[in-house]
A = this chain, B = another copy of it.
């Protein structure tokens, strides 16, 4: 339970225990652990202008405010969702790019909508694929106790296991090599 990436509620862990020290600030290691990233990634994001430590100690150690942890978690989730660091930067800097509230909102909405649409497309692809892979898994589960070893590996398509009523998923055809050609 300890070392896992629980980036959706990482900030809650702050109130808990051992990571709270040095005033309310977080070290690079705290940021990494609580967000499920590596030290390198935290430093890389700082270099890429996506994060900024509130200050550094005399020894050069970075100290971040808790709000930067929330920022880092959002960045991580956006990365998992397929956005490039440039797209993430555009999103996070949108508010600053305008001089009044309504303009800032319009710019942010524009960038946000573009990325939401892209995420929806990727999400749809993932869901379709996940369904197919789960179908494939169910079919292959029967093959774990293969009843027609004589057909393996090239004639599996003739096996009754592969005669599914809703037609074989494209994924299984590729995985098991049971196309027509």
Q: Give me the interface of A with B, judged by CB distance under 8 Å.
A: 7-8, 11, 24, 65-67, 70-71, 73-74, 77-78, 80-82, 91-92, 94-96, 100-102, 104-106, 108-109, 112-113, 115-116, 119-120, 122-123, 125-130, 133-134, 136-137, 140-141, 143-146, 148-149, 151-153, 156, 170-171, 173-177, 179, 181
- Per the bound structure, the CA–CA distance linking A112 and B91 in Å amounts to 35
Number of copies: 2
Q: How far is the CB of A79 from chain B (nearest CB, A)?
A: 10
Q: How far is the CB of A45 from chain B (nearest CB, A)?
A: 13
Are A146 and B8 in contact (CB-based, < 8 A)? no
Are A140 and B112 in contact (CB-based, < 8 A)? yes
* Most B C-beta atoms less than 10 A away, residue of A11, A96, A109: A109
Are B170 and A101 in contact (CB-based, < 8 A)? no
Are B125 and A126 in contact (CB-based, < 8 A)? no
Are B137 and A177 in contact (CB-based, < 8 A)? no
Are A78 and B129 in contact (CB-based, < 8 A)? yes
Are A77 and B156 in contact (CB-based, < 8 A)? no
Q: A70-B173, A71-B174, A119-B133 are in contact. List 16 more A-B contacts (CB 8 A).
A: A65-B181, A66-B181, A67-B174, A70-B179, A74-B175, A77-B125, A81-B125, A95-B153, A95-B177, A100-B152, A101-B148, A101-B152, A112-B140, A116-B137, A123-B123, A123-B127
